[in-house]
Amino acid sequence: MITIYGIKNCDTMQKAMKWLDAKKVAYTFHNYKESGIDDATLKVWLKHFPTDKLINTKGTTYRALSDADKASIGSPAKAIALMKNNTSLIKRPVWDFGNGEFFLGWDEKELSKLV
């Protein structure tokens, strides 16, 4: 089963869920704003995505970070701490297809190949 991770009120998340619903694809939604995110999950994601892709460097949450925090995202341990404390930093959605395959963000054409 597909699990998509994100924040419920995010426009991109809503688009992704509507797309999955229209295709009648079963999925689970993990709202990390409400449920948080654990170290183990973030470590798995960092095996698939570099920190500068997993962290949304264009968002307002990132822009509000100190220069020292911004500079620290190259360190997986520091990036994990930042993402756990500021879940809005995580790019959305993160797609877990349940088979060791992951996708980051929204690209309908690419996702159509995976779903």
CATH code assigned at 66: 3.40.30.10
The pTM assigned to this predicted structure is: 0.92
Domain that holds residue 81: 2-114
Rounded CA separation 11/23 (Å): 18
| Rounded Cα–Cα distance for residues 102 and 2 (Å) | 10
- pLDDT at position 115 is 87
Could you tell me if 103 and 16 are in contact, meaning their C-beta atoms sit under 8 angstroms apart? no
Give, as one character, the DSSP assignment of residue 20: H
Per-residue pLDDT at 41:
96
Instruction: Count structural domains, the chain.
Output: 1
87 catalytically annotated = no
> Which residue is catalytic, options 7, 10, 44, 65?
10
pLDDT in tens, 52-76: 899 999 989 999 999 999 999 989 9
Tell me the sheet residues that pair with 94: 5, 104
Cis link prior to 50 (omega < 30° from 0)? no
